[in-house]
């Protein structure tokens, strides 16, 4: 078995791993990256990117069917969905992005090895592939092995009968009916796109609310209303128990308040969360510490319990988001390169690509209060009062700003509405730099744009929004100040 030596060995070529490898190589380190499946990882190939492609197509179809006639655009023939062609286009998007990652790695002289990596010792690992085995010895290792879907009893994912997001994004025929188990962001994004294409969707959520703990409740309510208006059936308190094949369909049995209920569907999608891949690559075998939730324990530099081994991304803790993994990838590469870096981000913005989109940065209102911020200023501004949103026929939702009433420092910004995935970065920057509400309110925003809603929400938080009628701000029992509209 041949042995190769490197300064840095990265395990996993997802959004954390490939970024870490490129940055390490830029810093002059001899770098190798090991990937068993796709360059770009789950996110680029079977997650973030393909789901957004399908969501974009479904939204486009919905606009053609529902908004075009009102705008005076007459389409005289039926608009049909060619599912095979749609999936083929989606795959072309993924292939283009994955090819770009390959070019970037090669352009930065990163060695790419395909295969399954397993630590032999803390200084050496073995990569197994169809061609044989290779030994890799490195001064530093970066574990970026990601996560995989959680399974529940009675529902084993096989991508034929029980689908994960991977299978749901590769359907060559549009199912007439679908049951989505789990009302988190993955289930709602995929359920939304299927519904817009014409599938009758039922969401079974074990809890009492969608997106629990992920987004502000008032933001979620906007999405929930639109889902129901679009024909999506949502069952709360529903605990999926089992399923069986009945003819060409499946019958899902679930517990609802102690009573067993049944629902039939052509496709069954399981999206109850993801678990870190810390049980792979012999991480425990070499002595790495794993916490009770399965995450590799790391410090602020993302070092594990073995100093020259780092862990980033989903395997290293919440939030399990691609951009957090990429941030950590650059950080770790720079630590290895001798820079004085540590993870000190004030916020990791999050986006849910439902219709309308939800985006957030900073703390939820409940989190603010839990951390002792009992005196708050909270303001909202609706997209319905924004000219650009009206011209787009996308008026659902609002921007909500939460600030410390004593200092006016922005603590959290929560949005639901059109293109909020593109608006949230301004809020993230504001929180990262410790901005006050006045900083947002006094920054001139171009007109007519959706971004004006952020400025006007800041004005509303201060009590003097221009384009909505506000009641005068007053202290509510000495605990908060709230702008209303």
Q: Measure the CA–CA gap between 58 and 43, rounded to whole angstroms.
A: 20
pLDDT tens sequence across 174-190: 999 999 999 999 999 99
Taking only the tens place, the pLDDT of each residue in 285-330 is 999 999 999 999 999 999 999 999 999 999 999 999 999 999 999 9
What structural domains and CATH numbers belong to the chain? Answer: 2-148+275-336 (3.50.50.60), 162-272 (3.50.50.60), 356-479 (3.30.390.30)
Q: What is the mean pLDDT of residues 193-207?
A: 97
Question: pLDDT band for position 376 (50/70/90)?
Answer: very high
What pLDDT is stored for residue 77 in this prediction?
Answer: 87
Task: State the pTM of this model.
Answer: 0.94
pLDDT digits (tens, 9 = 90+) for 330-351: 999 999 999 999 999 999 999 9
Is 447 among the catalytic positions? yes
Residue 478 has pLDDT above 70, yes or no: no
| Confidence (pLDDT) at 445 | 98
Average pLDDT of the segment spanning 443-457 = 98
Active-site annotation holder among 66, 323, 445, 447: 447
- Give yes or no for residue 120 having a pLDDT over 70: yes
What's the pLDDT tens digit per position in 417-448?
Answer: 999 999 999 999 999 999 999 999 999 999 99
pLDDT value of position 473:
61
pLDDT mean across residues, the chain: 95
Give the model confidence (pLDDT) of 129-146 as tens digits: 988 999 999 999 999 999
Of 347, 344, 375, the closest CA to residue 359 belongs to: 347
Residue 460 to residues 85, 262, 353, 450, 483, Cα–Cα distance (Å):
47, 47, 26, 16, 6
Per-residue confidence band for 18, with pLDDT thresholds at 50, 70 and 90: very high
Q: What is the pLDDT of residue 397?
A: 98
Q: What is the pLDDT of residue 36?
A: 96
Of the ranges 175-189, 237-251, 459-473, which one carries the lowest mean pLDDT score? 459-473
> Tens of pLDDT along 26-57?
999 999 999 999 999 999 999 999 999 999 99
How far apart CA 334 and CA 301 sit, in angstroms, is 10
pLDDT at residue 213, rounded to an integer: 85
The percent of residues above 70 in pLDDT, for the chain, comes to 97
**Is residue 113 over pLDDT 80?**
yes
Q: How confident is the model at residue 449 (pLDDT cuts 50, 70, 90)?
A: very high
Question: Residues 380-425: pLDDT tens digits?
Answer: 999 999 999 999 999 999 999 999 999 999 999 999 999 999 999 9
Summarize pLDDT for 76-90 with one digit per residue, the tens: 888 999 999 999 999
Sheet containing strand 259-265, strands side by side: 238-246, 249-256, 259-265
Q: Region 467-476: what's the mean pLDDT?
A: 72
Q: How confident is the model at residue 1 (pLDDT cuts 50, 70, 90)?
A: confident
Per-residue pLDDT, averaged over 259-284, amounts to 97
Q: What local confidence, expressed as pLDDT, does residue 361 receive?
A: 98
């Amino acid at each position: 078995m041949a042995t190769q030596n490197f300064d840095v060995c990265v395990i996993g070529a997802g959004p954390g791993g490939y970024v870490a490898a490129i940055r390490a190589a830029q810093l002059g380190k001899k770098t190798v990256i090991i990937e068993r499946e796709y360059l770009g990882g789950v996110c680029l190939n079977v997650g973030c990117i393909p789901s957004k492609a399908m969501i974009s197509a479904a939204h486009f179809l919905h606009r053609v069917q529902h908004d075009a006639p009102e705008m005076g655009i007459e389409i005289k023939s039926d608009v049909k969905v060619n599912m095979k062609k749609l999936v083929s286009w989606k795959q072309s998007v993924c292939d283009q992005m994955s090819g770009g990652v390959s070019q970037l790695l090669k352009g930065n002289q990163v060695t790419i090895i395909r295969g399954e990596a397993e630590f032999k010792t803390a200084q050496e690992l073995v990569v197994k592939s169809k061609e044989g085995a290779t030994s890799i010895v490195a001064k530093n290792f970066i574990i970026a092995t990601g996560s995989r879907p959680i399974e529940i009893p009675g529902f084993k994912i096989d991508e034929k009968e029980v689908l994960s997001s991977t299978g749901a994004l590769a359907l060559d025929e549009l199912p007439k009916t679908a049951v989505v188990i789990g009302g988190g962001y993955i289930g709602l994004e995929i359920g939304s796109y299927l519904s817009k294409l014409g599938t009758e969707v039922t969401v079974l959520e074990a809890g009492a609310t969608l997106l629990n703990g992920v987004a502000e409740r008032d933001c979620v309510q906007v999405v929930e209303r639109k889902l129901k208006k679009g024909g999506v059936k949502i069952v709360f308190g529903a605990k999926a128990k089992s399923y069986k094949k009945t003819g060409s369909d499946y019958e899902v049995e679930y517990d609802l308040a102690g009573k067993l209920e049944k629902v039939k569907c052509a496709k069954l999608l399981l999206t109850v969360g993801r678990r870190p891949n810390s049980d792979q690559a012999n991480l425990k075998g070499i002595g790495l510490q794993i916490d009770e939730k399965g995450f590799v324990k790391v410090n602020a530099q993302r070092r594990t319990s073995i100093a020259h081994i780092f862990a980033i991304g989903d395997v290293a803790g919440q939030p399990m988001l691609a951009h957090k993994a990429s941030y950590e990838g650059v950080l770790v590469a720079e630590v290895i390169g001798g820079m004085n870096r540590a993870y000190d981000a004030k916020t990791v913005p999050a986006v849910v690509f439902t219709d309308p989109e939800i985006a957030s940065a900073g703390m939820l209102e409940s989190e603010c209060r839990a951390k002792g911020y009992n005196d708050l200023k909270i303001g909202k501004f609706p997209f319905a009062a924004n000219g650009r949103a009206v011209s787009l026929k996308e008026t659902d939702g609002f921007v909500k700003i939460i600030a410390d009433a004593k200092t006016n420092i922005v603590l959290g910004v929560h949005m639901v509405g059109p293109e909020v995935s593109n608006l949230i970065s301004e809020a993230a920057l504001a929180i990262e730099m410790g901005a006050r509400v006045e900083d947002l309110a006094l920054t001139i925003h171009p007109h007519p744009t959706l971004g004006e809603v952020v400025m006007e929400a800041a004005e509303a938080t201060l009590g003097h929004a221009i384009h909505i009628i506000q009641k005068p701000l007053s202290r509510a029992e000495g605990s908060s100040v709230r702008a209303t509209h």
